[in-house]
Amino acid sequence: MADVLTQAQIDEMLKNVAAGAVPEVTQKEEEKVKEYDFRAPKKFTKEQIKVLDGIFENYARLLSSYLTGLLRLYCRVSLVNIEEQRYSEFNNALPDYVLMGMVDMGIKNEEVSETNVIIQISNTITFTMIDRLLGGRGEYRDVNRDFTEIEITIMNDVMNSMANLLYESHIDLEPKLIGIETNSRVVQTIGHEDTVIIVALEVEINGSKSIISVCIPAINLDEIMNKFISRYNVSRRKLDANREAE
């Protein structure tokens, strides 16, 4: 009964309050509060995000090898994070001049609707690649300008190869580049209030770091995950078992 106050302690407290003394209150350490938007509830579970994490970790390794061979420079690509947000939030954060590749995933399944993915390359990476491919050292100056026809043609081949690397063996798909857009404000393939998954990949070239983003509509991704997640998990478990045996 150590927590029960005695009569003497109660009388002392009442005396202090009557005299105007304010008892000291020890403040508890502030708890971390995570914001949650009930108007746009999260659609994907931690398990599904973990599957995406594994897929894009592999994509980052493939992209790193491709860029290193293409530019004859050491390029390191790593997965930064996978975030669920509205398309308007992603689009509003983009600059006026930006290189966005529209990719048709080409999923061979009638139960999955047509899926278009956006691959957005930061201007820093784009101009570094263009300078290197045209014989330069991979340097850039002005990145806040529109792209020329020659630059778009060069990046069209690069973006097409990047789209092909999205191929995943346990999902029947044939990704292909269907176009390049340099003005993010006119892209109409995804509604502004639609939920999307944003995959951020950090690319390091010549000591400079920047971001490549992959934007996937949540509706299409949900269909894909429901159809193929079990197959992916079985495939991954077999792979993990083989690694453990080795």
Nearest to 129 by CA among 56, 185, 66, 80: 66
- Residue 117 makes CB contacts below 8 A (sequence gap 6+) with 102, 103, 105, 166, 175, 214, 215, 216, 217
Whole-number average pLDDT of the chain: 81
Side-chain-side CA neighbours of residue 130 (13 Å): 22
**Best-predicted range by mean pLDDT (31-35, 74-78, 188-192):** 74-78
Residue 154 pLDDT > 80: yes
Residue 183 pLDDT > 80: yes
Mean pLDDT of 55-77: 93
Q: Output the six-digit token pair for 104.
A: 């048709």
- Dihedral (C-alpha) 155, 171, 68, 136: value to the nearest 10 degrees? 0
pLDDT band per the 50, 70, 90 thresholds, residue 128: very high
* pLDDT tens digits, 5-30: 777 877 887 777 776 655 555 555 56
Instruction: Please give the share of the chain, as a percent, with pLDDT higher than 70.
Output: 76
Q: What is the pLDDT of residue 230?
A: 56
Mean pLDDT of 162-173: 74
Q: What is the pLDDT of residue 1?
A: 46
Q: What is the pLDDT of residue 169?
A: 45
* pLDDT tens digits, 204-237: 998 889 999 999 888 777 767 766 655 555 555 5
Mean pLDDT of 120-136: 92
pLDDT band per the 50, 70, 90 thresholds, residue 64: very high
Q: Output the six-digit token pair for 197.
A: 């998954």
Residue 87 pLDDT > 50: yes
Residue carrying the six token digits 């009388």: 11
